[in-house]
Amino acid sequence: MSELRRDPITGRWNIINTDEPSGPKDFHLEPFTPSAAACPFCPGNERLTPAEIYALRPSVSAANGSDWSLRVIPNKFPALRIEGELGLRGLGLFDLSNGIGAHEVIIETPDHRRQMADLTLPELEQTLGVFRARSLDLRGDRRLKYTLIFKNFGRDAGASLEHSHSQLIALPIIPKRVMEELKGAARYAEFRGRCPYCDMLHQELEEDERLVAENKGFLAFCPFVSSFPFETWILPRAHHSDFAAITQEGLGDLARILKDVLLRLRHGLSDPPYNFILHTAPIEPQPREEYHWHIELTPKLTQVAGFEWGTGFYINPTPPELAAKVLREVAI
279-299: per-residue pLDDT in tens?
A: 999 998 887 888 999 999 999
**Number of other CB atoms surrounding residue 11 within 10 Å:** 12
Average pLDDT, the chain: 91
* Top-confidence residue, 69 or 5: 69
What is the dihedral angle through the alpha carbons of 74, 78, 80, 82, rounded to the nearest 10 degrees? Answer: 30
> What three-state secondary structure class fits 317?
coil
pLDDT at 288: 85
Average pLDDT over residues 34-47: 84
Q: What share of the chain is helix, strand, coil (3-state, %, to 5)?
A: 30, 20, 50
pLDDT at 99: 87
Task: Give φ, ψ of 4 to 5 degrees.
Answer: -95, 125
Query: Could you give the C-alpha distances from 32 to 39, 114, 115, 230, 330, in angstroms and in order?
Result: 16, 14, 13, 20, 21
Cut 0.85: pTM above it: yes
Q: Quick check: 116 pLDDT over 80?
A: yes
What is the dihedral angle through the alpha carbons of 17, 18, 21, 27, rounded to the nearest 10 degrees? Answer: 30
Residue numbers annotated as active site: 165
Query: Could you give the C-alpha distances from 184 to 101, 156, 178, 228, 279, in angstroms and in order?
Result: 26, 31, 10, 21, 14
Distance of CA 134 to the CA centre of its chain: 15
Give the domain 49-56+67-328 fold: HIT family, subunit A (3.30.428)
Residues with Cβ within 8 Å of residue 93, at least 6 apart in sequence:
none
pLDDT at 35: 60
